[in-house]
Structure 1
Amino acid sequence: MLADRFREFSNAAPFISFFKLFIDPVLVVVTLYLLSIPFDVAMDGYEFILGALAFLLTALLLDGMFLFIPGYSRSWQGLGRFIVEWLGVVIGLVLIGRVSGFVNYYHPPFVITWFIVAPIVLIGVHVAIRVYVLRVDSGENAEHSKVIVVGVNQPSQLLVKNINEEPFLKMDFIGYFDDRAISRLPKSASEHLIGGLDILPQFVKKNGIKKIFISLPMSSQPRVLDLIDELKDSTASIYFIPDLFVFDLINARFDNVAGMPIVAICESPFMGLNGVVKRISDIVLSVLILMIIWPILLCVAIAVKSTSAGPVFFKQRRYGENGDSVLVYKFRSMTVMEDGDKVVQATKNDQRITAVGGFLRKTSLDELPQFINVLQGKMSIVGPRPHANAHNEQYRKLIKGYMIRHKVKPGITGWAQVNGFRGETDTLDKMQNRIKYDLDYLRNWSVWLDLKIIVLTVAVVLRDRNAY
């Protein structure tokens, strides 16, 4: 949700980045080192490898924010999410240890104790930072800034809600100013309405207002400029809240180009550091998965080749990142190799499906070669599922925002697939719903969401009947 993202990053972005990328991973490794002393374990060789892997997985999987984001600190949601993420780190380390054989070189009591103590240390440090740093000067005697908001709309109400819920912002919301009649305002806002814009400048001077947030629509530009001119006769800080909610936002953020401030309305969520995190997680997970499933790949290849004429792999051109054409690999499950201007989707009891093709499609085993596409950098493990190029050209004319899903790499599985939109899309409504979930994934991406989708995919494949 955009509101949640605005809330998270406006209040805690510097702390989140610092803890996620550095402090949390370092604390995990330091805890490992300190525990090695009572257990008399030398921190070299395999222990050094364990520390390096722990640092990497902690940086990838832990959000480092569960006590910094407003709302999390007042519920068990953030703590529960943190525990699940730490379990992801533990499971990742165990899987790597078993596949590589490293697990046989570690002292079990030492490692198990570390698995338990490390999250306790992280929680303790997060709580200490929250209590003793973020909330410093937020007590009864702390000096708070008086704040007023000009204009009643969705962004301004969200801002006021955040101010009221977060004492460490050290702001006291005084009220709204709006020229509209009370009957035209939401009831929750009308109760705090002070008056119209005509009395605003004098109110600011007489009441010691320190901060003014202007949240008027873009169509009111002359009115805003006149108001700012009048407010310059005060020492109050003035801020403008652009009404970005008028747009269908994808990864909305503020940026600058050559020193010029800009607002990103529609952008890939994998810009900068997020792109690095996404790529590293794709490489690590796909290598682990391929090391585990290679016997299955071999058996499926033999079954495909021995039961029907034709190649083992089916290669089809699909739209990749930024609409570039990529070759996507699948185990061949049909007697045809359609890759032209017209591609007919598989249907129930489709006569083109081979003897083993139905089973492969039902269990999604035909998709396994796409982990090779992931290593090539052409696909991601999680992302919008790639459609045949012919289908892209058809639906981009029928569904608004269809091509936005191609701002990222296509995925082996996706948010739409685990929400019931896997398999045949024989109606426009089904495809519209699939695109809706694809765009929702772009708005809300996180490593946690990727892991959730991977886990849900296993359950969907076992029970879903929509794949033919």
Structure 2
Amino acid sequence: MRNVIRQTDGRDFAAVESLLARLFDVMLIALGAVVASLLFTPDAGYRTLESNFVLFDMALALLLLPWFGVYDSWRGRSKWRLAINVVFGWIVVQACGLVMMFLLHRTALMSRLWCVSWTVLTAVGIVASRLLVHAVLGRLRRAGRNLRMVAVVGAGSHCNSVIANIAGSPAAGFRAVATFNTGGDTDLGAHGLPSFACLHEFADWVRREKVDEVWLALRMSDESTVLRVLDEFSDDLVNLRFIPDVRSLVMFDRNVVDLIGSPAINLVASPMTPYALMQKALFDRLFASAILLVLAPLMLSIAVAIKVTSKGPALFTQRRKGADGRVFRIYKFRSMRLHTEQPGVVRQATRGDPRVTRLGAFLRRTSLDELPQFFNVLRGEMSVVGPRPHAIEHDDEYRSVVDGYIHRYRIKPGITGWAQINGFRGETDQIEKMRGRVEHDLYYLRNWSFGLDMRIVMATVVKGLVDRNAY
């Protein structure tokens, strides 16, 4: 009975914590609006209109922000992903508020400087508050407070790996306290935890010690053990989590998805969730629009220079494969003299290639020839960051000799990528170079995050525009 009461009290505390977080976010929205007004004071006529806008957004935040999971438990999960969810959710709230004001024909009367500054200040405030709270919780957990006790079911390297991950992440707030060794060994393991060979004894100990969670670190084939554990704890309010050992099977992730009502584990599937793809697409469109707007004079100058210095069109197009193998036309500034290729054969540019014009050599060395690809990004055919697309003839050649090459098609190709900022750029005259490029592309697919995209973009700007391998 005490165990049930303790678990219920914990759930009530979590509910109170979630409610307080929502109220605090609403307060930060109002505070951000006030600070923006003090910094960028609008005319007196704006005050009533903007107050109504703020109140409307506060109500929208209570309704919409929970959809982005920002009030769920993030114990053991990426805090940067939480920050991205918070910012994206707040932008959606603001967008809905602006749509409502537009429908009421009030946007023309609103101070745009105030609105933008309010949006930025509130986003910074909410993210900073979240990171501060989790930093404080992390210190408490490292000091041994605010921990959830975990008993692990399993045996062998996978079970040891799960226990090691718990011990190596003290800020996550979990502590391994015991194991049920499915191999039958009751000796203390390498981690010095009490070990049980009898399930009933293990379950009694979990109840007696009021353990919060039981993690099942088992093979996919251990269905009978999973069912036994589920049956044993069927009347207990203990969190049961299955962490299957699928390391030898998965290509990209171990995400559990809902597939027409049934849970499914992705073994080889798209490495990015629909939400991640939506984030990436939104950033791509905004970034490409800004680049094209800012660099339009430069691109026009390059086009004129190409036309003046050599015969032929300013743009070069070529068929490439994009996401899911769909073929599209990629745009580049022409850097070579007009020449005829043999059907079905595409020669890569080599160092000192006589086909490359003097201006073209400069454009290729500085990557300025790639700028028209931002039109491909706007068309939804490419992404700012992703695996670089190759000529179709090269795709057909390498997919049969480089392991994992086909998986580059699982997301949109990019203007820059993880392989390019790590030196795998330019001619792939050796199979080892292509293998290295593909390995880096697969690493990107497995470890994608919005933060990694920003890191690649910054590295491209800092060091990627001029490269000795680009010719």
* Structure 1 position 424 matched with structure 2 position 427: yes
1:95 matched residue in structure 2: none
**Could you say if the C-alpha distance between residues 70 and 148 of structure 1 is closer, same or farther in structure 2, counting changes exceeding 3 Å?**
closer
Aligned 8 A contact 1:28 1:118 in 2? no
Partner Cα distance (2:183, 2:457) in 1: 51
2:193 matched residue in structure 1: 192
Kindly state the Cα deviation for residue 462 of structure 1 after the two structures are TM-superposed.
4.4
The 10-residue stretch of structure 1 (127-136 or 385-394) with the greater mean CA deviation from structure 2: 127-136
**Could you say if the C-alpha distance between residues 46 and 367 of structure 1 is closer, same or farther in structure 2, counting changes exceeding 3 Å?**
farther
2:96 matched residue in structure 1: none
Letter in 1 for 2:273: M
2:246 matched residue in structure 1: 244
SS of match in other structure, 1:406: helix
**Alignment match of 2:158 (pick from 131, 150, 154):** 154
- Counterpart mapping for 1:12-411 below 5 A: 30-39=30-39, 40-42=41-43, 70=76, 119=124, 122-124=127-129, 126-128=131-133, 147-154=151-158, 157-158=161-162, 161-162=165-166, 165=169, 173-179=177-183, 188-189=190-191, 191-192=192-193, 194-195=195-196, 197=197, 199-205=198-204, 208=207, 211-221=213-223, 224=225, 227-228=228-229, 231=232, 235=236, 237=238, 238-335=240-337, 336=339, 338=341, 340-411=343-414
**Could you say if the C-alpha distance between residues 31 and 427 of structure 1 is closer, same or farther in structure 2, counting changes exceeding 3 Å?**
farther
Aligned 8 A contact 1:383 1:413 in 2? yes
Q: Percent same amino acid at aligned positions?
A: 31
SS of match in other structure, 2:418: coil
Aligned 8 A contact 2:288 2:377 in 1? yes
Letter in 2 for 1:200: L
**Alignment match of 1:413 (pick from 396, 412, 416):** 416
Cα deviations by residue, 1:384-426 (Å, 9 ceiling, x for unpaired): 1000001111110011111111111111111110011111111
Partner Cα distance (1:169, 1:126) in 2: 15
**Could you say if the C-alpha distance between residues 118 and 204 of structure 1 is closer, same or farther in structure 2, counting changes exceeding 3 Å?**
closer
SS of match in other structure, 2:295: helix
Cα deviations by residue, 1:211-234 (Å, 9 ceiling, x for unpaired): 443323234455x36854884798
Letter in 2 for 1:194: S
Aligned 8 A contact 1:176 1:192 in 2? no
**Alignment match of 1:445 (pick from 437, 441, 448):** 448
Kindly state the Cα deviation for residue 162 of structure 1 after the two structures are TM-superposed.
3.0
Partner Cα distance (2:311, 2:37) in 1: 63
The 10-residue stretch of structure 1 (155-164 or 394-403) with the greater mean CA deviation from structure 2: 155-164
Partner Cα distance (2:453, 2:340) in 1: 31
SS of match in other structure, 1:153: helix
Kindly state the Cα deviation for residue 64 of structure 1 after the two structures are TM-superposed.
7.7
2:102 matched residue in structure 1: none
SS of match in other structure, 1:244: coil
Partner Cα distance (1:229, 1:281) in 2: 43
The 10-residue stretch of structure 1 (330-339 or 356-365) with the greater mean CA deviation from structure 2: 330-339
Aligned 8 A contact 2:179 2:193 in 1? yes
Partner Cα distance (2:29, 2:204) in 1: 54
Aligned 8 A contact 1:148 1:212 in 2? yes
Structure 2 spans left out of the alignment, 5+ residues: 1-13, 55-59, 92-110
Kindly state the Cα deviation for residue 307 of structure 1 after the two structures are TM-superposed.
2.0
**Could you say if the C-alpha distance between residues 330 and 46 of structure 1 is closer, same or farther in structure 2, counting changes exceeding 3 Å?**
farther
SS of match in other structure, 2:425: coil
Aligned 8 A contact 1:163 1:173 in 2? no
**Could you say if the C-alpha distance between residues 255 and 179 of structure 1 is closer, same or farther in structure 2, counting changes exceeding 3 Å?**
same
SS of match in other structure, 2:284: helix
Kindly state the Cα deviation for residue 303 of structure 1 after the two structures are TM-superposed.
1.7
1:6 matched residue in structure 2: none
Cα deviations by residue, 1:229-252 (Å, 9 ceiling, x for unpaired): 884798585543211222243143
Aligned 8 A contact 1:312 1:331 in 2? yes
Aligned 8 A contact 1:396 1:403 in 2? yes
Letter in 2 for 1:326: F
**Could you say if the C-alpha distance between residues 442 and 30 of structure 1 is closer, same or farther in structure 2, counting changes exceeding 3 Å?**
farther
Kindly state the Cα deviation for residue 459 of structure 1 after the two structures are TM-superposed.
2.5
RMSD: 4.8
Aligned 8 A contact 1:378 1:409 in 2? yes
Letter in 2 for 1:460: K
Letter in 2 for 1:404: H
Kindly state the Cα deviation for residue 451 of structure 1 after the two structures are TM-superposed.
1.8
Letter in 2 for 1:119: V
Aligned 8 A contact 2:77 2:172 in 1? no
Kindly state the Cα deviation for residue 338 of structure 1 after the two structures are TM-superposed.
4.6
Kindly state the Cα deviation for residue 319 of structure 1 after the two structures are TM-superposed.
0.6
> How many residues matched?
408
Cα deviations by residue, 1:308-334 (Å, 9 ceiling, x for unpaired): 222221110001110011110111111
Letter in 1 for 2:245: D
Kindly state the Cα deviation for residue 71 of structure 1 after the two structures are TM-superposed.
9.2
* Structure 1 position 434 matched with structure 2 position 437: yes
Aligned 8 A contact 1:370 1:412 in 2? yes
The 10-residue stretch of structure 1 (402-411 or 160-169) with the greater mean CA deviation from structure 2: 160-169
Structure 1 spans left out of the alignment, 5+ residues: 1-13, 90-104
Kindly state the Cα deviation for residue 286 of structure 1 after the two structures are TM-superposed.
0.7
Partner Cα distance (1:313, 1:24) in 2: 53
Kindly state the Cα deviation for residue 299 of structure 1 after the two structures are TM-superposed.
1.4
TM-score, structure 1 length as denominator?
Answer: 0.71
